[in-house]
């Protein structure tokens, strides 16, 4: 785990997003990092020292002139006794004070005194975010090496819409994880490409053709490959799944976009195609919403989408190991076998997607792993376990092949 044993100094300043800092502490600690928190006066209006202390299982530091704090842990020591300083939320005010090099409370004094890398998660009203003063401050901080995660676009607590929402704890965690680098493992040094989720094929600006894929299976595979040390790119259609840790996620909508993103991610040693790519798209997408009642019921003419798995399997820059999925509703193994040969991949993972199995969107899966020289039947297990079992099988195949072609 990239975060195990790492020490994070978390500065919580005064924004409505401060509550997300609690979740961030929980997730960091789950991954083996220790967290020490500094709470500003403004931050204490939104979260209590007690809740931060309970989650971090450590004292929370609030006061620059506390004799007790100074005797236990001087502010200089506090600033240096960390591997990474994270400011979340980073309000417009604390960013301005950081940019100006001020040291008028414990948080800014720590930030001025630290020789450790700093990551900030800005959070503020959209107009404050867009103000030239804030943008200037951000430029200055970036030039000094402060890294930013977010903000995101969306509705805000102040009833406005735009950029300024703090990045979600999962996104901040991913940025922290990236900072510390990928964990070493059996797939260290290998590059993996994974596709996941459905594609949406537009009919007009408001309607599209899609399927029931949730992205749970593909995302779990990407997470498992990254956990074994593979440098992993996840190309995903629209899903509600959070981006997996230690993975570069590329979001796409259509099959054509997915194909282009996969091509851009090559070369890779491993490709796993778990996406439920639409086989067809509408030949001519309407520019305006198709109106009901005008010219009767519309007829959609479909055309075939590019086959990403087949193209990866047969292309000049073919990954050493190409793994496909087969989503079947009848004769699961026989159809999957034929599909493996037709598409030219090395392995295919067949699963039954009949509605009664709950495979689409559910948390469990039952897999038949089909290779040229044999077949394995896996018992039903969680999609996370399927991802881990597949990643381990991939790692073994590289080891068996002397780390060359699987
Ligand atoms: O996302 P979940 O809700 O977790 O569900 C998981 C899943 C059922 C989607 C997954 O386990 C799965 O079976 N994925 C493949 C779905 C699919 O499209 O299967 P297929 O039999 O139609 O396609 C065969 C293979 O060709 C797949 O690897 C698919 O990614 C690939 N393909 C298909 C069409 C196309 N145009 N390009 C492709 O790359």
DSSP, residue by residue, 284-303 = S--SSPPPTTSSSS--PPEE
Element (H, E) at 336: helix 332-343
Angle between helices 132-143 and 92-100 (to 10 degrees): 50
Question: pTM of this prediction?
Answer: 0.71
Is 40 close to ligand 1, i.e. is its CB under 6 Å away?
no
CA of 5 to the centre of ligand 1 (A): 38
154: left (phi over 0), alpha (psi -120 to 50) or beta: left
Q: Read off the pLDDT of residues 363-375 as tens digits, 9 standing for 90 and up.
A: 999 999 999 999 9
- Supply the pLDDT for residue 403: 62
- Supply the pLDDT for residue 137: 97
Which residue do the tokens 């994974």 mark?
Answer: 194
- Supply the pLDDT for residue 73: 62
- Closest of 196, 267, 273 to residue 231, by C-alpha: 267
Sign of CA dihedral 8, 244, 381, 398: negative
Q: Look up the CATH superfamily of 7-179.
A: Flavin prenyltransferase-like (3.40.50.1950)
Where do the DSSP E strands lie in 354-400?
364-365, 368-371, 374-377, 381-382
Query: Start-end ranges of CATH 3.40.50.1950 in the chain?
Result: 7-179
Mean pLDDT, each 10-residue run in order, the chain (406 residues):
89 97 96 96 97 96 74 74 96 98 95 94 96 96 92 83 91 88 86 98 97 97 94 95 86 97 97 98 96 87 98 97 98 98 98 97 98 96 96 95 62
- Closest of 143, 391, 116, 146 to residue 246, by C-alpha: 391
Is 273 close to ligand 1, i.e. is its CB under 6 Å away?
yes
CA of 191 to the centre of ligand 1 (A): 21
Is 27 close to ligand 1, i.e. is its CB under 6 Å away?
no
- Supply the pLDDT for residue 268: 97
Cis peptide before 106 (omega within 30 of 0): no
DSSP state of 89: E
Does the domain at 191-400 match CATH 3.40.190.10? Answer given as: no
Give the nearest ligand 1 atom to 275 CA.
Answer: 30
> Residue with the nearest Cα to atom 22 of ligand 1?
327
- Supply the pLDDT for residue 70: 62
Q: Which of 281, 327, 381, 387 is the pocket-test mutation for ligand 1 (most atoms within 8 Å of CB)?
A: 327
Q: How far is it, in rounded angstroms, from Cα 201 to Cα 307?
A: 14
What is the four-CA torsion angle of 205, 211, 217, 221, rounded to 10 degrees? -50
- Supply the pLDDT for residue 402: 76
Is 271 close to ligand 1, i.e. is its CB under 6 Å away?
no
For 373, other C-beta atoms within 10 Å of its C-beta total 5
CA of 277 to the centre of ligand 1 (A): 6
Where in the sequence numbering do the catalytic residues fall?
A: 158
Q: What is the widest separation between alpha-carbon atoms in the chain? A: 82
- Supply the pLDDT for residue 326: 98
DSSP, residue by residue, 159-210 = S-EEEEEPPPHHHHHHHHHHHH-PPP-TTTT-EEEEEESB--EEEETTEEE-
2-12 CB burial, b ≥16 within 10 A, e <16: bbeebebbbbb
> Residue with the nearest Cα to atom 23 of ligand 1?
326
- Supply the pLDDT for residue 162: 85
Query: Start-end ranges of CATH 3.40.50.10300 in the chain?
Result: 191-400
197: left (phi over 0), alpha (psi -120 to 50) or beta: left
What is the four-CA torsion angle of 121, 135, 179, 22, rounded to 10 degrees? -10
DSSP state of 375: E
For 362, half-sphere exposure in the C-beta direction (CA atoms, 13 angstrom radius) is 17
CA of 405 to the centre of ligand 1 (A): 24
Break the chain down into helix, strand, coil percent, rounded to 5: 35, 25, 40
């Amino acid at each position: 785990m990239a975060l195990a044993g790492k020490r994070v100094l978390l500065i919580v300043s005064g924004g409505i997003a401060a509550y997300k800092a609690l979740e961030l502490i929980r997730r960091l600690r789950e991954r083996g990092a220790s967290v020490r928190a500094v709470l500003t006066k403004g931050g204490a209006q939104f979260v209590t020292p007690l809740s931060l202390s309970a989650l971090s299982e450590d004292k929370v530091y609030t006061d620059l002139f506390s004799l007790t704090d100074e005797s236990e842990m001087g502010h200089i020591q506090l600033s240096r006794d960390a591997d990474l300083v994270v400011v979340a939320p980073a309000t417009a005010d604390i960013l301005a004070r950081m940019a100006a090099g001020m040291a008028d409370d414990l948080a800014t004094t720590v930030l001025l005194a630290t020789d450790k890398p700093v990551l900030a998660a800005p959070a503020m009203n959209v107009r404050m975010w867009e103000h030239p003063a804030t943008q200037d401050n951000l430029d200055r901080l970036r030039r000094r090496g402060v890294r930013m995660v977010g903000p995101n676009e969306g509705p805000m607590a102040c009833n406005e819409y735009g950029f300024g929402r703090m990045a979600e704890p999962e996104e901040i965690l991913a940025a922290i994880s990236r900072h510390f680098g990928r964990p070493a493992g059996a797939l260290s040094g290998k590059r993996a490409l994974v596709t996941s989720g459905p594609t949406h094929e537009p009919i007009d600006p408001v309607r599209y053709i899609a399927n029931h894929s949730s992205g749970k299976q593909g995302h779990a595979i990407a997470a498992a490959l990254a956990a074994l040390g593979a440098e992993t790119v996840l190309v995903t259609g629209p899903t509600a799944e959070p981006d997996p840790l230690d993975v570069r996620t590329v979001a796409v909508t259509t099959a054509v976009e997915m194909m282009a993103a996969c091509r851009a991610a090559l070369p890779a040693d491993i490709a796993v195609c778990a996406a439920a790519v639409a086989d067809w798209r509408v030949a001519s997408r309407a520019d305006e919403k198709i109106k009901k009642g005008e010219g009767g019921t519309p007829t959609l003419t479909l055309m075939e989408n590019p086959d990403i798995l087949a193209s990866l399997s047969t292309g000049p820059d073919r990954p050493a190991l190409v793994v496909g999925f087969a989503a079947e509703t009848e004769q699961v193994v026989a159809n999957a076998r034929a599909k493996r040969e037709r598409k030219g991949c090395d392995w295919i993972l067949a699963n039954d997607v009949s509605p009664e199995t709950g495979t689409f969107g559910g948390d469990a899966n039952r897999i038949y792993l089909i290779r040229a020289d044999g077949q394995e039947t896996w018992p039903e297990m969680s999609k996370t376990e399927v991802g881990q079992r597949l990643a381990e099988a991939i790692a073994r195949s590289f080891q068996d092949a002397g780390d060359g072609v699987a």
